[in-house]
Amino acid sequence: MNEKTHGGWLKVVGLGPGAEALITPEVSVALAEATDVVGYVPYVERVAPRPGLVRHGSDNREEIRRAEAALQLAAEGHRVVVVSSGDPGVFAMAAALFEALEAGEAEWRALDIQVLPGISAMLAASARLGAPLGHDFCCINLSDNLKPRALIERRLRLAAEADFAMAFYNPRSRARPEGFERALEVLREACGPERLIMFARAVATPEESLRVTTLGEATAEMADMRTLVLVGSSQTRRIPRSTVGVPWVYTPRSVS
């Protein structure tokens, strides 16, 4: 009997947006105890190699097969960490894991599974900019890989009508760059050209860049695949800061 047969577990963890200092101690302990790390190649590469640890990097859009492989390893007694960037529950591996669990082997349901939260890109970007999500907000994945574009536009319009601040993941895909162009049009129409929009690229990495502008001035090229986009509510305000290039942006707590 393989010595790994007993004591297997699976933890779906968030590595945060980039900096080591944003990885929770809970996640660091899980990584130190793991026999296997599973995930999208660039996230797996954020975990340093060490003896006794096997790193299984796979391609993007392989989420379900990756989740199945992770569940199978845990069922065989491995201590498996599935890594996501940011938080695993926000447009990341946790949902894929439960999709695979529900559709998969009955015995997988008896596994010791945990989800360990992480600092999401949305919270990290918001912190760098001030407090743009300081009042009610919504969070939308702009990718049309997994949902119809009409639904995205509908949600944008309803979010504007509700006067939510908004956080957008995956604004631009290489395959369909016109999607974000269209999202900006819908937002301009619904919120007006003066509404604040923020582009937070590669937050908490050495390549971090921030831009604060208005919907009227924004162009689709301001976002790429590593950009988190935030749009303010009607109440969101700017304060010039003397120290950095971009102003502080915050959404007040109260609405009169």
Nearer to its own copies, 221 or 241 (CB): 241
Nearer to its own copies, 51 or 148 (CB): 148
Q: How far is the CB of 109 from its own copies (least distance, A)?
A: 6
Nearer to its own copies, 51 or 243 (CB): 243
Determine the size of the site formed for its own copies (CB under 8 A): 77
Residues in 171-230 at the binding interface with its own copies, rule: CB under 8 A: none
Q: How far is the CB of 49 from its own copies (least distance, A)?
A: 21
Q: What is the DSSP string of the chain?
A: --TTSSS-EEEEEE-BSS-GGGS-HHHHHHHHH-SEEEEEHHHHTTSPP-TT-EEEEE-TT-HHHHHHHHHHHHHTT-EEEEEESB-TTSSSHHHHHHHHHHHS-GGGGGS-EEEE----HHHHHHHHHEETTSSSEEEEE---SSS-HHHHHHHHHHHHHTT-EEEEE----SS-THHHHHHHHHHHHHH-TTSEEEEEESTTSTT-EEEEEETTT--GGG--TTEEEEE--TT-EEE--SSSSSPEEE--S---
Site map 88..117 versus its own copies, x via CB under 8 A? xxxx--xxxxxx-xx------xx-xxxxxx
Nearer to its own copies, 141 or 214 (CB): 141
Q: How far is the CB of 62 from its own copies (least distance, A)?
A: 13
Nearer to its own copies, 174 or 253 (CB): 253
Task: Please list the residues that pair with 55 across neighbouring strands.
Answer: 37
Using CB under 8 A, which of the segments 34-42, 46-54, 149-157, 209-217 binds its own copies?
149-157
Nearer to its own copies, 16 or 179 (CB): 16
* Residue 67 touches its own copies, criterion: CB under 8 A: no
* Residue 9 touches its own copies, criterion: CB under 8 A: no
Residues in 235-254 at the binding interface with its own copies, rule: CB under 8 A: 237, 239-243, 248, 250-254
